[in-house]
Chain A
Amino acid sequence: MSLRLRLLLMIGISLSLLWGGVAVWMLRDLDDEMRRTLDQRLAMSARMVAGLISQNPAAWDTRRGTAGVSTLTVPATAKGLACQVSSLRGEVFARTPGAASAAIASTTPGFAEREIDGEHWRSYTVEAHGLRITTADRLAERNTLLRDVMAAAIVPFVVALIGSLMMLWIGVRSGLVPLERLRQALARRAPDALTPIPDAPMPRELQPLVETLNQLLERMRVAISRERRFTSDAAHELRTPLTALKTHLQVARITHGQDAETALDYAEEGASRLQHTLQQLLTLAQVEGPFSWDEAQRTYTDEVACLAMRDAAPDAPERVVLESDEPSVELALPQALAVTALRNLLDNALRHAPAQHSVKLKIQSAHDTVCFRVCDSGPGLTTDELTRVTQRFWRRDAGRGSGLGLAIVVAVTERCGGSLALAQRPTGGLEASLTLPRAKRESPPVS
């Protein structure tokens, strides 16, 4: 249900119910008051007649006692009104014309109501100076009067009610215009538009909504452009070795002998570069994604160092020198992640260190962290390069490495709460310090 319809219904129904209730209450009061006023006037007119008669009782006394007295007929003053003066015994001395008058004579004083010839009459009888005076009025006249009064009260009321409902409709409509404008602005947008909603003047109530929407849009825009950038970079990184592979395969097809052999060797090099890049991309997606790792297996520093060294230099294990005289401690992250991070650091160090030079790996435990330091004797990095080195796909030389190694290390530290620091060594070369959290549950390593 639209907001406007809901507002209109809620306010309209409650307005009508409230004012309807008030109207019924008021009309009932009015009805009672009218009847009481008319009764009072009936009684007053009876008493007035009695008062008039008491001014000259003798005139009536002469008539009293005489049998078969003629009835004095009083000229009718108004339609629907009747009056009769009679003795207590029932002799009628005077009355207004009309057959009804005979019947209205009541023997009991006070108000009475009766039906004569199908018409309802209300009468009032008073006894004074031995006379009985009755006044009556026809209820039909009374009801007509009451209806007129009611109508006079109700018509303006209904007009006012309809008017206020219309005002309500207009008010709700114009009050909701900014909301409607916002709805239209949103409906007009392309589904993938991420530009902020225009800053048209908005009512205060809508401003937080628009601000929140714009913040959300901005966050989405940033996230999507980051993803796009990454996809484009990844495509670029995959295309490059693929190009080398394809070109050399084509060369192998159109050449012969040694040239074809060389081309095939290069094609294989391209294939292994492609494989490496793919593997690194998958690792990065796994580290950053919502994948769960085997948490059941405990991770110990000596195992991590051993596995990472074996992975990084499978053919020349002597190139990595482990310097650690501390007992192995448990780490608070899955073993695969720790090994991946450390192996990438060792890979980099081995790649940049001069051939035949070894790379040092030191392990130092602190209270709640463990630091793996990888030191090489390569050219190191300039200050500018140090700031860019952890960016995805950054690499110093084209064709060397996937450009993802350090990005993966950073992703691992972000996932487990560690840190990576790179620094130029005073003696030349680079020192990479990977700090990883220690496990809270302290237990001796499984030997």
Chain B
Amino acid sequence: MRILLVEDDDLIARGIQAGLHARGLMVDGVRTAAQAEAMLSAVHYQVVILDLGLPDEDGMSLLQRWRADGMALPMLVLTARDAVEDRVAGLRAGADDYLLKPFDLDELVARLHALLRRAAGRSVATIEQGALRLDPERGEVSLNGRPVVLSRRELALLAALLHARGRILSVDQLKDSLYGFSEEIESNALNVHIHHLRRKLGADLIETVRGVGYRFNMVNA
């Protein structure tokens, strides 16, 4: 899962990034609305965390503009304004969730996963596909009831493929959900991770669609 964090306070942004990273989530941090728009057009994100007090544009109007433009990404709004009318206005403007500063890191992670789950149309925390079972929040995978140990990248890759539910994901899309913006990516890194996943979970679980990308094989799972 790849997250865009729009937060103008450097210290808070660093904290959230470090915390989410430690919880196995990929986060890119930007400080202004303009940077956020540039990132959104370049990278495939699954969730946006938006602070309302941005230096170049009010977060609320940015949110409205994005929603008016038809952007459907789940949005979690972070704010230090606790008045009820502020919260209501945030939700009306198109936020999917609302978290008041100061917040609990675990709560933020749980809410992000819940947002993703809802966006994928699921109502339970775990994703089950045949004998495969994934709990994205805890990072636990089991096959036929036996736990399988996956690295962070493998976990992210599996989660992205499962979220897509059989849709083909391009190599770029998969890379976006695996690596942060500033991370160096080796050319065959994705292939290596796919290879590891196939070795641990079965060779026919992930299907290669030549020239397009990869997809999760729903039939064989």
Count of A-B residue pairs with CB < 8 Å: 82
Q: Mark B12-29, 1 if CB is under 8 A from A, else 0.
A: 101110110011000000
B42 at the interface (CB under 8 A from A): no
Nearest B-chain residue to A236, judged by Cβ? B80
Given A266-B15, A398-B8: A243 in contact with B80 (beta carbons within 8 A): yes
CB neighbours of B11 from chain A (8 A): 241, 244, 248, 266, 269-270, 273, 399
Chain B residues, Cβ within 8 Å of A247: 12, 15-16, 19, 102-103, 105
- Contact A399–B9 (Cβ < 8 Å): yes
Q: Are A397 and B80 in contact (CB under 8 A)?
A: no
Confirm or deny: A422 has a beta carbon within 8 angstroms of a beta carbon on chain B: no
Contacts of B103 in A (CB 8 A): 243, 246-247
Q: Are the CB atoms of B80 and A240 closer together than 8 Å?
A: yes
Which residues of B63-97 have CB atoms within 8 Å of chain A's CB atoms? Answer: 80-83
A407 to B102, CA, bound (A): 26
Q: Which residues of A contact B9 (CB under 8 A)?
A: 240, 243-244, 398-399
The reply to whether the CB of B104 lies closer than 8 angstroms to some CB of chain A is yes
Write the nearest CB–CB distance from B76 to chain A, whole angstroms: 14
Instruction: Find chain B residues with CB under 8 A from A241 CB.
Output: 11
**Total contacting residues, chain A, CB less than 8 A:** 27
Query: Is B200 part of the contact surface with A, judged by Cβ < 8 Å?
Result: no
Using a CB-CB cutoff of 8 Å, which residues 150-186 of chain B contact chain A?
none
* Residue among A232, A259, A269, A398 making CB contact with B81, cutoff 8 Å: A232
Within 8 A of B (CB), among A358-407: 397-399
Rounded to whole angstroms, the CA-CA distance of A336 and B176 in the bound complex is 56
Q: Does residue B202 face the partner (Cβ distance < 8 Å to A)?
A: no
**Is A240 in contact with B22, judged by CB distance below 8 angstroms?**
no
A238 closest partner in B (C-beta): B80
**20 A-B pairs (CB sep. < 8 Å):** A232-B83, A235-B80, A239-B80, A239-B101, A240-B9, A246-B102, A248-B15, A250-B104, A250-B105, A251-B105, A255-B22, A259-B22, A263-B15, A397-B55, A398-B8, A398-B10, A398-B31, A398-B53, A398-B55, A399-B10
* Interface positions of A (Cβ within 8 A of B): 232, 235-236, 239-248, 250-251, 254-255, 259, 262-263, 266, 269-270, 273, 397-399
In the A-B complex, the 8 residue pairs with the closest CB atoms: A247-B15, A239-B80, A243-B102, A243-B101, A244-B11, A398-B8, A250-B105, A236-B80
